[in-house]
A and B are shown apart, each in its own frame.
Chain A
């Protein structure tokens, strides 16, 4: 597709369950980012993949959060043992092969609600 694709668009889960969120970046974009946005708040950085380099995981809030990127393309963000405070919109973005570019293209987000 032409843009960043995220799925599911909405996910409702019960506290303690695991969830997986998927991101398919723009073709040819080597950088991929995950952010989350709670209601009325700014974007909180979670993790950043750039090409074949080790990912920057410095924003992951706890060891319940993990992400992988297979084949340099699709990424999956996994949240284990979800808590109510994990409820947010999870945004994926990708950017061009240029290093350190801040020109991110965002997907529509995955809205996670933990009951």
Chain B
């Protein structure tokens, strides 16, 4: 079992819709959770972090964390073609370095 699992996609949504990206993790001691965005040919950049159960909103982005279910999600409201990218879920457990999932490719259709 991979430590951080994501559906590779592509997830295709129409412009203006809500995109929902999901991630599960295996290590119950994980304490910090992150979403990175990676445009094609570019390096990842951090877009959201979440540390406690519940929702965290930042503009059009909402991160959701459920530690009991070992589940993290990212919602993108009013999706734009510029949101088309690969979204990487990442987790810190204990003193270990950040572990990334393989990413979900999002395509927003104009």
Decide whether A and B assemble into one complex. yes
Q: List 13 A-B contacts (CB under 8 A).
A: A33-B98, A42-B88, A43-B44, A45-B97, A45-B98, A91-B43, A100-B92, A102-B92, A103-B46, A103-B49, A104-B98, A106-B43, A108-B42
A residues within 8 A CB of B100?
35, 42-43, 45
Q: How far is the CB of B46 from chain A (nearest CB, A)?
A: 5
Question: Cα distance A41–B88 when bound, in Å?
Answer: 11
Q: Contact check: which of B45, B88, B97, B103 meets A33 at CB < 8 Å?
A: B97
* A42/B103 contact (C-beta < 8 A), A102-B32, A106-B45 known: yes
5 nearest A-B pairs in the assembled complex, by CB-CB distance: A42-B102, A48-B97, A106-B43, A43-B100, A102-B34
Question: Cα distance A38–B68 when bound, in Å?
Answer: 33
Which B residues lie at the A interface, using CB under 8 A?
A: 31-34, 42-46, 49, 88, 90-92, 95-103
Q: Contact check: which of A56, A91, A105 meets B97 at CB < 8 Å?
A: A56
Judge whether B95 and A108 touch: CB under 8 Å: no
Given contacts A45-B97, A56-B97, 20 further A-B contacts (CB under 8 A): A33-B97, A33-B98, A35-B100, A41-B102, A42-B103, A43-B88, A48-B97, A56-B95, A56-B96, A59-B97, A91-B43, A91-B44, A101-B32, A102-B34, A102-B90, A103-B34, A103-B49, A106-B45, A108-B42, A109-B43
Q: What is the size, in residues, of chain A's interface with B at 8 Å between Cβ atoms?
A: 20
Question: Cα distance A56–B91 when bound, in Å?
Answer: 16
A residues within 8 A CB of B92?
100, 102
Which A residues lie at the B interface, using CB under 8 A?
A: 33, 35, 41-43, 45, 48, 56, 59, 91, 100-109
* A45/B44 contact (C-beta < 8 A), A100-B92, A102-B49, A103-B34 known: no
Q: How far is the CB of B52 from chain A (nearest CB, A)?
A: 14
Question: Cα distance A45–B103 when bound, in Å?
Answer: 14
Question: Cα distance A56–B98 when bound, in Å?
Answer: 12
Q: How far is the CB of B89 from chain A (nearest CB, A)?
A: 10
Judge whether A104 and B88 touch: CB under 8 Å: no
B residues within 8 A CB of A104?
44, 46, 98
